[in-house]
A = this chain, B = another copy of it.
Amino acid sequence: MSANREKDSQGNQDRQEKEQPRRRQARGERRIAQLLEAAATVFSTTGYTAASTNAIAREAGVSPGTLYQFFPNKEAIAIELGDRLMHELREMYGEALAPVDPATPLNEAVGAAVDRFIAFNCAHPVFFALMHGPDIPGRMAEEHDALHATLLSRIEGLLLSFLPDADPAVLARTAHMCLGLYKAGLELVLAHEGAERDAYVQELKNALIRYLDPLVGDNLGQGEAARTAT
């Protein structure tokens, strides 16, 4: 049933004999990556709750025991997955989303941010599952909340560029709304392909821009831009 055994024919023979511990660790790291990838697949297919560790192991081509050599339980897999995704997000786009030149027109800033996020989410479909999870039980909810909080603070950072003197409560609410809108749009984007997908991306941008536009009333001309963006 289980075909496994180092199927990665990467020909990594150039590694050194001195670095034996490193080799060991390297193998472990590879397995971990492999398992996380498998978990990503299974999570995005079935959702966290319905995902079984055996299925993840099978998807990764290893035995269940191997999975538990690297992760103490199912939760830990999702948590590590979330951590890695956040890390990558951070690496790709810098520590903050924010450092936007306030002179940048809103529609450009939003458009760029959405494009980036969409690209990231298309590359990592699990991110959506983890971000979106409504049925996350136990200690994992904390992780979920942490991920959420991180995203929110980034969005707040971005918004601050445009709304430097906003009431913190309003700012928080606006960030929540933006994240919600984004998630809603993302779901539609991921559900379509090709031209239709692009159209939804544009609609998502429109929705965000139009939602935010009145809040940055001093940036003249943007309302007009937004109105003609379709």
Interface size on A, residues (CB 8 A): 56
As a 0/1 sequence over residues 202 to 230 of chain A, the CB contacts with chain B under 8 angstroms (1 = contact) are: 01101100110111010000010011101
Judge if A129 is at the interface, Cβ distance under 8 Å.
Answer: yes
User: In whole Å, how far is A138's beta carbon from the nearest beta carbon of chain B?
Assistant: 10
Of A75-83, A88-96, A107-115, A177-185, the one touching chain B: A177-185
A58 contact set on B, CB distance < 8 A: 8, 10, 12
Q: Mostly helix, strand, loop or mixed at chain A's interface?
A: helix
Residue of B nearest to A199 (CB): B173
List A residues 18-74 near B (Cβ within 8 Å): 46-50, 58-59, 61
Instruction: Tell me whether A184 and B188 are in contact in the complex, defined as CB-CB below 8 angstroms, given that A210-B211, A214-B226, A215-B230 are known contacts.
Output: no
- In angstroms, Cα B15 to Cα A12, docked, is 24
Binding site for B on A (CB under 8 A): 1, 3-5, 7-8, 10-15, 17, 46-50, 58-59, 61, 129, 132-135, 137, 173-174, 176-177, 180-181, 183-185, 187-188, 196, 199-200, 203-204, 206-207, 210-211, 213-215, 217, 223, 226-228, 230
A sample of 13 more A-B contacts (CB under 8 A), given A1-B13, A217-B227, is A5-B14, A10-B58, A47-B135, A129-B134, A133-B134, A134-B134, A176-B200, A177-B185, A181-B181, A181-B207, A183-B184, A214-B227, A223-B227
